[in-house]
Amino acid sequence: MIISDLISDLTSMLPDSHVEEKSSPNQFFGNDGDIIISPKTENDIAAVLHYANENNKKMNIAGNGTKRGFGGTENKADILLSLSDYKGIIEHTVGDMTITVKPGTPFQELQDYLSTHNQKISLDPSHPEEATIGGVIAANDSGPKRLGYGSARDHVIGLRMAYPNGEIIRSGGKVVKNVAGYDMNKLFVGSMGTLGVVTEIVLKLRPLPKYESLMLLTFEKESKEEIRSFAVQFLDSMMEPVSMELLNPELAEKLTGQKVLTLAIAFEDVESSVHYQEEFVKNMKSGASQMTILAQQEAKEFWKRFNYLFPNGQREQNGLAAEAVVKVGVKNLDVIQILKESDWLEDAHNVSVHAHGGLGHGLCQVHLQGAQDDIIKAIDSLRKTVKQLNGYAVIKHLPLALRQVIDVWGGKPSYFFLLEGIKTKIDPKKTLNPKRYVGGL
C-alpha cells in the first residue's frame, strides 16, 4: 500500500484526528513514521490500532518526543501515533486525592494545576515542561527525589489501555489500594508502549509540602570513604531526606558554579521539621568543607535546572559528536563507585561526563558527550564496572546510528521467555513500537 492510500484510508476512518504524511522522518533519533496521526479521542486511538493490527502495519507511539532517543533500532514505522493532542484532565477529586488524565498532558501542566489545590503528583521527571505524563508512565521515569517520592509505578492506580487489537482494557481503578486481579498497572508502567497505548491514567496525589529546602555539601578531599561514611551515618539517622543525590564535579559546576563533588540533600515537610533536619546535618561530623542551604524558591529553581541538564529526543544534533544518557542501577551505596568511575571515563575515553546518583536507592544517570566511537567505548567500559556490581546500565538517550550498534538494554535476562510470552500474548503481530524494548521486543 502506498502512503497516500494509507492516509486516505485513515482520514476517512478518523474524522476527529489529524492525519498527515511526515515529509522528513527523524533520521537522527528514529522511532518515527511515514505518516503521523494525532487523535483527539480514545475511539480514534482504538480505531487506528485496530486498523494497523488488521493490516499488518507497524506503529510507533510518541508524546512530545522527549524519549525519541530511548530504545528502538528503526528509523520509522508505517505510522507514528502522536498523543500530543490527546491531553487534559478528565477528573480531579480533591478530597480523594486522585486525578484522571489523558496521556498527552505535559507533566508540568498537571503540577501547575494541582498546586492550586495544594496537591501534586509525587514525581520529578526530567524535562517536565515537554514530557507528557503518558511518556513518564511508559518509561517509568523518576528524578532526583526518587528516595522520597518513589517512581511512576508507585503512583499509578488505574489505567485504560488500548490493546493492539483495538480493545480497551482497564486495569486498577480509582482507589489507592486495590488487589482485585493481577496488578496489571505494573505491567504497563515502564513497558515503553510495547503492549498498548495508554488512553487514561489515574494517579494518586500527595499534599504539597509546606516547606522545602536543599543542602549542598561539598567534600574537599572528595574521598570515597569520607562520603560513604557520611552517607552511612546520615542514612542510619531518623532524618527523612527526599533526596540524597551525589553530583560529580562537572555536573555540580553546571548547577552551582563549583567544580567539586557535591552531595545534594533535600527536605520537604513542615518548616520546623525541615530546619530541625538541617541542624542535624550541620551538627554531624560530616567532613564536609562547605554547606550551602537553599530554601523554598531557591531550592525549587535548583531542581528545575537539574531537570533540564540532560538532552532529550526533541533536540537533534549535528556533526560527529554525540550525547548519551545512561541509567545505571546498582546497590544504594555503590553509587559512589559509579560516580568515581564516571570521572575515570572522562580521561580514558576522551568524553565529557556529567553524572549523578541517589545514595538512598542506587539509581544513577551518566551523561556522556563526545565522538561516537568514544561514547560506545565509554559505555562498554561503564557496563563492565556495573556488571561487577551486579547492576545494569540502560541507555536512555542515544542517536539512532549508535543504537543500531549497541544494545541499549544490555542483553536479555534469564527470564526473557516470560517477557516474550507477555508481548506475544498481547501484541502477537508486533504492531506496537517494534524492536523498542528489551531483547528486541
Partner 1 sequence: MLRKKGLKTHDKHIKKLAAIVGPKEILFHKEELISYESDGFTIHSHMPKAVVFPTNTEEVAEVVKYCSDNDLPFLARGAGTGLSGGAIPLNGEVIISLVKMKRLLSVDLENRRAVVEPGYVNLKLTNSISDKGYYYAPDPSSQYCCTIGGNVAENAGGAHCLKYGVTTNHILGLEVVTPTGKIMEIGHDGIPDAPGYDLLGILTGSEGTLGIVTKITVRILKNPEEKQTVLAYFDDVADGSQAVSDIVSAGIVPAALEMMDKIAIEGVESAAFPVGHPKDIEALLLIEVDGISAGINEQINEILDVCKKRNVRSVKVAQDDEERAKWWANRKTGFGAMGTISPDYLVQDGVIPRSTLPEVLKRIGEISKESGLRIANIFHAGDGNLHPLILFDSRIPGQTDKALEAGSACLQACADAGGSITGEHGVGIEKREEMRFVFSDKEIEAQTDIREVFNPHYLLNAGKLFPSPGRCAEVKKELKAAE
Of 75-83, 104-112, 185-193, 370-378, the window that binds partner 1 (rule: CB under 8 A) is 185-193
Q: Is 30 in the site for partner 1 (CB under 8 A)?
A: no
431's CB contacts (< 8 A; 6+ apart) are 49, 52, 53, 56, 57, 58, 59, 164
Q: Is 47 in the site for partner 1 (CB under 8 A)?
A: no
Q: Is 384 in the site for partner 1 (CB under 8 A)?
A: no
- Judged by CB under 8 A, which of 176, 260, 293, 406 binds partner 1? 176
Residues 7-35 as b/e (b if ≥16 CB within 10 A, e otherwise) read: beebeeebeebebeeeeebbebbbbbbbb
Q: Is 285 in the site for partner 1 (CB under 8 A)?
A: no
Among residues 68 and 423, whose Cβ is nearest to partner 1? 423
Q: Is 186 in the site for partner 1 (CB under 8 A)?
A: yes
Helix axes 372-388, 335-349, angle to 10 degrees: 150
Residue 190 one-letter amino acid: G
Restricted to residues 389-408, the positions that interact with partner 1 (CB under 8 A) are 390-392, 394
Q: Least separation, in Å, of the C-beta of 186 and partner 1? A: 2
Restricted to residues 206-225, the positions that interact with partner 1 (CB under 8 A) are 206-208, 210
Q: Is 283 in the site for partner 1 (CB under 8 A)?
A: no
Q: Least separation, in Å, of the C-beta of 187 and partner 1? A: 5
Among residues 252 and 274, whose Cβ is nearest to partner 1? 274
Q: Is 269 in the site for partner 1 (CB under 8 A)?
A: yes
Q: Is 118 in the site for partner 1 (CB under 8 A)?
A: yes
Restricted to residues 134-173, the positions that interact with partner 1 (CB under 8 A) are 140, 150-151, 153-154, 163, 167, 169-171, 173
Q: Least separation, in Å, of the C-beta of 44 and partner 1? A: 19
Among residues 29 and 70, whose Cβ is nearest to partner 1? 70
383 near 393, Cβ under 8 Å? yes
Distance CA 110, CA 107 (A): 5
Task: With CB under 8 A as the rule, give the number of residues binding partner 1.
Answer: 83
299's CB contacts (< 8 A; 6+ apart) are 212, 213, 214, 266
Of 73-81, 250-258, 307-315, 329-337, the window that binds partner 1 (rule: CB under 8 A) is 329-337
- Judged by CB under 8 A, which of 1, 3, 270, 405 binds partner 1? 270
Q: In sequence order, what DSSP letters do the residues of 41-82 get, joined into one string?
A: SHHHHHHHHHHHHHTT--EEEESSSTTTTSS---SEEEEEEE
333's CB contacts (< 8 A; 6+ apart) are 228, 231, 232, 359, 362
297's CB contacts (< 8 A; 6+ apart) are none
349's CB contacts (< 8 A; 6+ apart) are 370, 374, 375, 377, 378, 381
Restricted to residues 75-94, the positions that interact with partner 1 (CB under 8 A) are 93-94
